[in-house]
A = this chain, B = another copy of it.
Amino acid sequence: MGYNQDDSHSQLIENITKVYMQAELIIIGNELLNGKIKDKNIHYFSKFCFKNNLDLYQVQIIKDTKEALHNALDIAFKRSDFVLTTGGLGPTKDDQTKELLAQYFNKEINFSKRALEITQAHYKRGKREFNKETNLYPNIPDDFLPLSNPTGYAPGLLYKFEDKKILAATPGIPREFQTMLDEVVSPLLPTNNSFSKHIIIKTNRIAESKIFNELCPNLWEELQVFGEVSSLPHPLGVDIAVVINKPHDEDKVLSLIDKSKLKDHIWHIGADLLEEVIIKEATLKKLKIGFAESCTGGLCASRITDISGSSSVFWGSIISYSNEVKIRSLNVKEETLNHFGAVSAEVAKEMAVGALENMNLDIAITTTGIAGPGGGSKEKPVGTVGIGFATKEKSDSKIYHFSGNNNDREGFKFKFSQAALFKLLEVIRAYDS
């Protein structure tokens, strides 16, 4: 819908964010560009920036060549004061970051006693022997500060220049990257007391265009008064976010939302994940929850157990991928499987009743469906899923159809798990404890 012809929206964002130190991330690694591996650092770094009042202006993923890194540094330092590179600090010959940074800043590489201590500390932690001859970790560019690496061998690097510009370099291994950010880089950043908070309004079962075109045509402008607004559609819902910059604006945003027509479509306000809301509300009601999963193959349980504290309410899940396990561990009747097929409302319901009894749960949620690419038919295409539930009082089930790319097995598994978790939240909220 409507575009801001005059750029006023963009300018508003720029004005707000300019009060923070602007930051850049440069990720060095051919493996990320040629499809071999998946990045695991961007999201952690973007959350790190938000927490530390850094305005992350841009991320660049580049090849490990001189040309690529030097160009990326030129561009990043032209607009930002804090640039972090990650990757290329390891011991092999494609790890050229130290050398390329030294060239960029016209430094020589020399032995550093502090860097040696950092590397040796990790050899000690791992109880392994340090081999001085074949170990180039302690050699770093002159005038660079070596940074502790609490979970790895390679020291990080820090270099300050032109009074306020900061370059930091860390290894790219996610564990080392994350620990160094939190324990080593964070304390070195200038303190900043400005306030910034995401208010996230989470809706479901309503399309983005319907919200902003029909239901609440003025909502965007009304929210924009308080800060940057964005809208993010994803399977089963739209999240609307406002970044507020004054603590007392929170109540104003909430009361605006409370009076809007969107109210009935909101399932949660806050940055919490669906999994976190489930754990929180199940804990309040002292419920024992669990799953019986076929097509989601453990994803529902795994998502729930990603949350610390889940063990007080999450009892277990029976992954019954084969019919044999459906019969043996969930008491599903062979006739039901033969008559209706494994992907059916009837089987979803029997699985729920079986899981409730066998694991002694208060609420059981089940999934049985077709995640593709094979296994679909005209009546039950890829994307079909039966979601069932059972409590001591009641049990029921329903077939859902999701669209998507038939080869996107993981995508379908996620959508199915999302539907199952929403059902779980619904049953928790309806539960009289």
A residues in contact (CB < 8 Å) with B: 1-5, 7, 9-10, 13-14, 30-39, 42-43, 46-51, 56-68, 72, 75, 90-96, 98-99, 109, 125, 128, 131, 134-136, 151, 153, 173-175, 178-179, 182, 198, 200, 207-209, 212-214, 220, 228-235, 239, 241, 243, 271, 288, 290-291, 293, 296-302, 304-306, 308, 310-311, 314-322, 324-325, 328-329, 358-360, 371-374, 403-405, 407-411, 413
Contacts and interface: CB of A to CB of B under 8 A. Distances in A.
Contact of A42 (B9, B32, B209, B411): B32
5 nearest A-B pairs in the assembled complex, by CB-CB distance: A297-B305, A298-B298, A298-B301, A316-B325, A35-B47
| Dominant secondary structure at the A interface | mixed
Given A93-B4, A131-B213, A302-B302, A315 B324 contact: yes
Contacts of A319: 291, 298, 301, 305, 316-319
A338 to B, nearest CB: 18
A318 B315 contact: no
A46 B63 CA distance: 13
A410 B273 CA distance: 15
Given A13-B30, A36-B198, A298-B301, 7 more contacts: A9-B94, A58-B61, A91-B209, A131-B214, A305-B413, A311-B322, A329-B358
A46 B34 contact: yes
Contacts of A405: 151, 175, 178-179, 182
Contact of A10 (B39, B67, B179): B67
A10 B59 contact: no
Contacts of A291: 319
A64 to B, nearest CB: 8
18 contacts: A1-B95, A3-B93, A10-B65, A33-B58, A33-B59, A35-B47, A36-B198, A58-B60, A60-B60, A91-B212, A92-B212, A175-B235, A179-B405, A296-B305, A297-B305, A297-B306, A298-B305, A314-B322
B324 A360 contact: yes
A411 B175 contact: yes
Contacts of A56: 33-35
Contacts of A135: 1, 209, 213
A300 B390 CA distance: 26
Nearest to A326: B316
B220 A93 contact: yes
Contacts of A39: 39, 42-43
A229 to B, nearest CB: 7
B96 A4 contact: yes
Given A198-B34, A318-B316, A319-B319, A9 B59 contact: no
Contact of A36 (B178, B232, B288): B232
Contacts of A293: 298
A77 to B, nearest CB: 14
Contacts of A94: 9, 229-231
Contacts of A358: 328-329
B306 A329 contact: no
Contact of A318 (B38, B212, B318, B360): B318
A310 B321 contact: yes
A92 B96 CA distance: 43
Contact of A31 (B35, B220, B232, B328): B232
Contacts of A208: 90-92
A408 B209 contact: no
Nearest to A402: B175
A43 B49 contact: no
A58 B50 contact: no
Contacts of A58: 33, 60-63, 68, 72
Contacts of A407: 182
A228 B30 contact: yes
Nearest to A302: B298
Contacts of A136: 1-2
